[in-house]
Amino acid sequence: MKLSRLGLILCLVLCGALLRAQNVEPQNTVIESESVDGRSTDKETTSVFTGRVVVTATNMKLTCDRLEIVALRAGDPKATIGKIEAFKSLVAIGNVRIIQGDREAACGKAEVLPGDDKILLTGSPVVVDHSVNWTWTGDELEMLRGERQIRGKNARFTGPPIQDLGVDLDKKPEAAPAPAPAAEAPKQP
């Protein structure tokens, strides 16, 4: 599917937002879907992509059923296609999967909020950090940009095993040293 001029502008905005979050070689952002619907007001431009949505960008791949991108407009409010000032939000819904570096997330809904430097995952979210073999699940997980930090509600963390700190039942305890005889206290006259 070819993107409209509006879709291309939104792709460039999305790419710029992702580049601010990463220090990697820039890659063009490409959004593929079965359909797109773009609309503008004098303050915002909204594009909704539906049907097998795939976003590839710098150090990121996102797949979902529906993607809504909202960008803030600047310049002449009467222009058919306004100048994009900033990326406001990206909301992915349905079978969401995000792969970025060594982290992978899956959920029912992901809200990317660049102004707050976070991604909010809901709908049975699972985040896996393959570099350390850690997995987080919960009712809601929040990933913070640039901090490698995750917050959650009703969260569960699964990590690699911890060394057994228990008692070895087959090992005989070492004999404790005999206590020194107590010195007699001097007798009082």
pLDDT in tens, 113-160: 888 888 999 999 999 999 999 999 999 999 887 777 889 999 999 998
Q: What is the pLDDT of residue 186?
A: 64
When pLDDT is cut at 50, 70 and 90, the band that residue 20 belongs to is: very low
Q: Which domains does the chain have, with CATH numbers?
A: 5-158 (2.60.450.10)
- Tell me, what's the pLDDT at 146? 77
Strand extents, DSSP E, the chain: 30-32, 35-40, 44-57, 60-74, 83-100, 103-113, 118-122, 126-129, 134-137, 140-144, 149-153, 156-158
- Predicted confidence at residue 42, as pLDDT, reads 83
**pLDDT score for 59:** 86
**What pTM did the predictor assign?**
0.70
